[in-house]
Structure 1
Amino acid sequence: MKYLSLAKSLEKLEDTTSYLEKNSIIADLLKETPSESMEMVVRLLLGRVYPAYVSQETGIGLQQLKKAVGKATGYSADDIDDLMEDIGDLGDVAEELTREKKQVTLAEGTLNVEEVYKNIHKLPTITGKGSVGRKTKTVDKLLADASPIEAKFIIRTVLGDLRIGVAEGRLRDAIAEAFDVSPESVEHAYMLTTDYGKVAKAVAEEGGEGLEGLGLTVGHPINPMLAQRSEGIDDILERMDGKAAFEIKLDGIRVQPHKKDDEVFLFTRRMEDYTSMFPELEKPLKKALKSDHAIVDGELVAINRDTGKPMPFQEVLHRRRKYDIKEVAEEIPVEIHLFDVLLAGEKTILDQPYIKRREKLEEIVKPSDKVKIVEQKTLTNPEEIKNFQQQALSKGHEGLLAKDLNSNYRAGRREFAWLKMKAKAETLDLAVIGAYAGKGKRAGLYGSYLLAARDPTSGELCTVTKVGSGYTDEELEELTNKFKKLTRKQKPSEVNAELEPDHWIKPEHVFEVIYDEIQKSPPEKHTSKYGLRFPRFVEQGMFCDIVSGVIF
């Protein structure tokens, strides 16, 4: 398939703000896309060459891309910098200079989707001495054969910012429209695969039956099911017909262990691979999971080596590191507490009721010192529920989680089938939209960030809070380096904000933020009309199509 066909569709998407028109443009493109190119086209529509569960960056920055543009077009670095000052987007600069380029290649080729995809896909694998030059040369070769419009979107894809207003949620409706299936069936298939490329290919080849044939794959994480907040015991019993399963709610990192024969993987709620960070759990997980193939859900908890009690959430976060893993493992031992199972053997069971999944979990897990099953009771009496909650709190846990006995596992959804009874601070996932320059010992770094939640009615990202605490010095430096690449001179179009940060940031990442209370805020301060009391940073993750909007 010619890359030009895709580039022209991307340009149309950039030129319209209409939701329905964008859907039609994508649907028309997908209808014309050959099956063998479908996964690549869908991922390129999202401005990347990896599915959502793979956290991978190209490793080539703006300055290197400027060199590639200069090499391909024959223009100097000063020419490119001058145009950048006027235009502000290197993709647009590449388009203009390609249109007027001085250096004519001996034989301009016709780019196809596969060539563009594979060359960008291999950029992260180019490492070692001289890797920056080899990466630049790889992009330069693509640009040398590119038409102006192709050059624009090649550059934007490498940067991970197409600027066309297409997120994963929009693809659901476009795929449904293109192949005449229900949006719900497309969404369900995506929740199982976390890959709209794979979903689109399956439905293109086999229609609805292709979607039904998609299932969980060990080694590919899926979005976990999330819980809503409850108003208390009476609210829970009313919603769950007077009877529910109550599990102890642990204060740790949500994890999704996978087992395939002798291999074990450990993924987080953000679908990041943490396997290498917790090597001491590999053998215990292999032994505890009796099924050869399994995907389970649980919580990773830090344990006080003297008392045997769980440690605060912040302690387990110290285990997230690439170096000195063995030493820190000795200082901060961890346990995994499992509470659900999604796949056992070759059978996907997330559509079975909770009570059946719990039975299967107890069947396939042999508890040990490192791998345990979360304590659970089925209760109807409010006093018994209160007593169980007090027991959980006295052991150092957060509280209880109530689950509807007949509910299935809704991957990626926040449902009232799971309700939180917590005595500690809540958390929200909020989009990072701005940064403020640090002062004092934080000089030279971004010292705090402006965060927003998506308004479910307007779709805008409305400000909720500024967060300047909870970071380690190492995290502040890492976050500053990451977000400097995403700064914008102008406020992003999807952001609704009255506050003016020092730097606007493309909303591509979220912070999980812990807070004590949600309180009303005047709209001239926060456009969501709400703010957070004592917000603290917990961790950073990739921006999903849905940012927590429970405040609205």
Structure 2
Amino acid sequence: MGDLEYSILADFYEKIERTASRIEMTEYLVALFKETPIEIIDKVIYLTQGKLRPDYEGVELGVAEKLAMRALAQALGVSIKKVEETYKKSGDLGTAAQMLMQQRKPVSIVDFFGGAVEAKPLTVTRVYETLLKIAKASGPGAMDTKVSLLVSLLKDAKPKEARYILRAITGKLRLGIADMTILDALAIAFTGSKNARDVIERAYNMHPDLGHVAKVLATKGLEGVKGIRITVGIPILPMLAERLSDPREILSKLGGKCIIEYKYDGERVQAHKKEKQVYLFSRRLENITSHYPDVVEMIMNNIKAKEAIVEGEIVAVDPDTGEMLPFQELMHRRRKYGIEEAMEMYPASLYLFDVLYVDGRSLINEPLPIRKEYLKKILVPADRIQLAKSTIAETPEEIETFFEQAIADGCEGVMCKSLQADSIYQMGARGWLWIKFKRDYRYEMTDTVDLVVVGAFHGKGRRAGTYGALLMAAYSPEEDIFKTVCKVGSGFTDEDLQKLPEILKPYEISHKHPRVQSKMEADVWFVPAIVLEIIGAEITLSPLHTCGWGKIKENAGLAIRFPRFTGRYRDDKSPEQATTEKEIIEMYYSQRKVTAKA
């Protein structure tokens, strides 16, 4: 079986880590994939993503730093104190491991004269399989097993290899490579150009496991990739919506007529039913089945199909009044222990709005009205599982009226969706077939945005020793980059200020990330990873921020004035699911129109 020395992988990681160019990053990946034997291309992809399996399988790679330090000390024959001191100096456990290994002296006379038998080079397969064993170790003695396995790797590792093994095992690889960049590199490496990228991306949208898609591409070619189909139990990348604030514009975009649905303040879920098995996946493709046994039961009992994939919103309800509770209350359900107790305190309702697959038939290429008919046929409504409340609108007034009703009922706003013949389910895409119309932002910026932390500025005075402000960015899916839109320092509690450096530390890098576009120089830069909910007074033109640069006025971008953190950490969103540059531009135009009328 073909294999690859792990040192080659480490060399590529070092090059990728040092580059500030996305084009260079892609070129390095292409070279790596070409050098990788096809038998292990999936393992190389997973390791490069900083994971061992696709997200939906829930294989956690992370090992606590203290445990990793213990293994490093044991492997090198040094004290834990020595490891801790080196870690404190370097700020990164991987770098600390590399430094300690480079300082290591011969430990015996045989070693000194070069008589020791040289360890066999580490291979990708050995590293991957050992990390997988570490991730899966459980039960009594699991910690000792994890340490022992990690020690065995580190003893045979070269300094640079140890750097990336330690970063991988603690969940802090810090390469910041997006899935879309890997798709580009796969297309070039295995087909010679980016022309096949759409075919590969479509397969990935249906089966979001880059290791699997790469293996099929490497072994069966593009025809094999075209054969990838929807599989019940494997999540599909969710369709996303654009945002507008004028009902007239919404109707114009949607052909003069649309279906409007409540936009519930809950957790979006993709539910898969396969005979007597139910799987629940979040919008980030995490398997959240164990958190919602009540929702599992609803799907099992009220979806009358042997196999189905449906989408909806899980909403927490007040057990005393039956009223919908805000999203923050539902998050009490996201716990490992005390699930039954949480289910009693925060019972859930499920509001379904789409169906993607029923008994062997894929519906993603069917228009929305047909999908809605299928959903009605297979759903047996009950008190806690229903269709999302909806109506058909043909005038702006009808949208406004339904919107006000949704707000009164405790929703975030409404979703307006196309009923046209082309209203297919666009997997993983944000398009004009679905349009968000949310609370109040059509008058001023009282709607929130979800922005990505890309940098930070050191605090002064009371905030000395922590961050004084964070540099926040919106996402541009067309360019696959993050563009700055504000510097936020308000709204953080003392607890937030204390824990933010800990939360952000794993993503800290020494330079601006190649996928970040910023005119401002932050004191600290981060890999785009953490999403925060931000509110502001208004969106203004700015010579300092890059979001919307040159799209409204020459030599100006857009900035959020008086931004404030709402207290909501959007752990349910990946950075690529943050508010987009287009949405910020639309919000700017909509508020300007309202201001002009005023």
TM range (shorter): 0.7 to 0.9
Say whether residues 1:227 and 2:241 are aligned partners: yes
2:506 is aligned with what amino acid?
L
2:68 is aligned with what amino acid?
L
Task: Specify the alignment match of 2:280 in structure 1.
Answer: 266
Say whether residues 1:548 and 2:579 are aligned partners: yes
TM-score, normalised relative to structure 2: 0.80
Q: 289, 294, 298: which is aligned to 2:303?
A: 289
Task: Specify the alignment match of 2:8 in structure 1.
Answer: 5
Give CA-to-partner distance per residue, 1:365-395, whole Å, 9 cap, x none.
2211221112333332344444433443443
With over 3 angstroms needed to count, the CA separation of the structure-2 counterparts of 1:217 and 1:471, relative to structure 1, is: farther
With over 3 angstroms needed to count, the CA separation of the structure-2 counterparts of 1:322 and 1:482, relative to structure 1, is: farther
Task: Specify the alignment match of 2:531 in structure 1.
Answer: 510
* Amino-acid identity (%): 34
Say whether residues 1:142 and 2:153 are aligned partners: yes
1:319 is aligned with what amino acid?
R
Give CA-to-partner distance per residue, 1:37-93, whole Å, 9 cap, x none.
121111112222232335554342334334433433445556555655665544344
Deviation at 1:163, TM superposition (A): 4.3
2:55 is paired with a residue whose SS is coil
Q: 142, 159, 167: which is aligned to 1:156?
A: 167
Task: Specify the alignment match of 1:421 in structure 2.
Answer: 437
Q: 193, 197, 211: which is aligned to 2:207?
A: 193
1:39 is aligned with what amino acid?
D
Comparing 518-527 with 137-146, which one deviates more in the overlay?
518-527
Distance 1:57 1:478 in 2: 26
Give CA-to-partner distance per residue, 1:397-431, whole Å, 9 cap, x none.
34331111232212222222111222355443322
Say whether residues 1:486 and 2:510 are aligned partners: no
Task: Specify the alignment match of 1:209 in structure 2.
Answer: 223
1:48 is aligned with what amino acid?
K
Give CA-to-partner distance per residue, 1:419-462, whole Å, 9 cap, x none.
122235544332234679999x9999999865433466693552
Distance 1:172 1:98 in 2: 35
Q: Which runs of 5+ in 2 are unaligned?
A: 441-445, 548-556, 586-598
Task: Specify the alignment match of 1:42 in structure 2.
Answer: 45
Distance 1:470 1:307 in 2: 32
Say whether residues 1:459 and 2:490 are aligned partners: no
For residues 238-387 of structure 1, the aligned pairs below 5 Å read 238-305=252-319, 307-387=321-401
Task: Specify the alignment match of 2:593 in structure 1.
Answer: none
Q: Which runs of 5+ in 1 are unaligned?
A: none
Distance 2:424 2:231 in 1: 19
Distance 1:256 1:518 in 2: 34
Distance 2:494 2:363 in 1: 40
Q: Count residues with an aligned counterpart.
A: 548
Task: Specify the alignment match of 1:408 in structure 2.
Answer: 424
- Does the aligned pair in 1 maintain the 2:330–2:346 contact within 8 Å? yes
Distance 2:319 2:176 in 1: 50
With over 3 angstroms needed to count, the CA separation of the structure-2 counterparts of 1:317 and 1:65, relative to structure 1, is: closer
With over 3 angstroms needed to count, the CA separation of the structure-2 counterparts of 1:537 and 1:518, relative to structure 1, is: farther
Comparing 23-32 with 479-488, which one deviates more in the overlay?
479-488
With over 3 angstroms needed to count, the CA separation of the structure-2 counterparts of 1:370 and 1:95, relative to structure 1, is: same
Comparing 305-314 with 225-234, which one deviates more in the overlay?
305-314
Q: Pairwise CA RMSD of aligned residues?
A: 3.8
Q: 520, 532, 537: which is aligned to 2:540?
A: 520
1:431 is aligned with what amino acid?
V
- Does the aligned pair in 2 maintain the 1:508–1:542 contact within 8 Å? no
Deviation at 1:237, TM superposition (A): 1.7
Q: 172, 175, 183: which is aligned to 1:172?
A: 183
With over 3 angstroms needed to count, the CA separation of the structure-2 counterparts of 1:333 and 1:438, relative to structure 1, is: farther
- Does the aligned pair in 2 maintain the 1:499–1:525 contact within 8 Å? no
Distance 2:544 2:21 in 1: 28
Q: 115, 118, 130: which is aligned to 1:119?
A: 130
1:483 is aligned with what amino acid?
I
Give CA-to-partner distance per residue, 1:294-333, whole Å, 9 cap, x none.
2111111233445544333333334333444333433333
Distance 1:447 1:131 in 2: 40
1:548 is paired with a residue whose SS is coil
1:407 is paired with a residue whose SS is coil
Say whether residues 1:530 and 2:556 are aligned partners: no
- Does the aligned pair in 2 maintain the 1:453–1:464 contact within 8 Å? no
Give CA-to-partner distance per residue, 1:171-227, whole Å, 9 cap, x none.
011011012151112222222222211111111122222222223333333332121
Deviation at 1:347, TM superposition (A): 2.5
Q: 235, 251, 255: which is aligned to 1:237?
A: 251
2:45 is aligned with what amino acid?
V
With over 3 angstroms needed to count, the CA separation of the structure-2 counterparts of 1:526 and 1:25, relative to structure 1, is: closer
Deviation at 1:549, TM superposition (A): 2.5
With over 3 angstroms needed to count, the CA separation of the structure-2 counterparts of 1:50 and 1:446, relative to structure 1, is: farther
Deviation at 1:343, TM superposition (A): 1.8
- Does the aligned pair in 2 maintain the 1:60–1:132 contact within 8 Å? no
With over 3 angstroms needed to count, the CA separation of the structure-2 counterparts of 1:297 and 1:165, relative to structure 1, is: closer
With over 3 angstroms needed to count, the CA separation of the structure-2 counterparts of 1:310 and 1:162, relative to structure 1, is: closer
- Does the aligned pair in 2 maintain the 1:91–1:153 contact within 8 Å? yes
Comparing 116-125 with 62-71, which one deviates more in the overlay?
62-71
- Does the aligned pair in 2 maintain the 1:450–1:467 contact within 8 Å? no
1:122 is paired with a residue whose SS is helix
2:473 is paired with a residue whose SS is strand
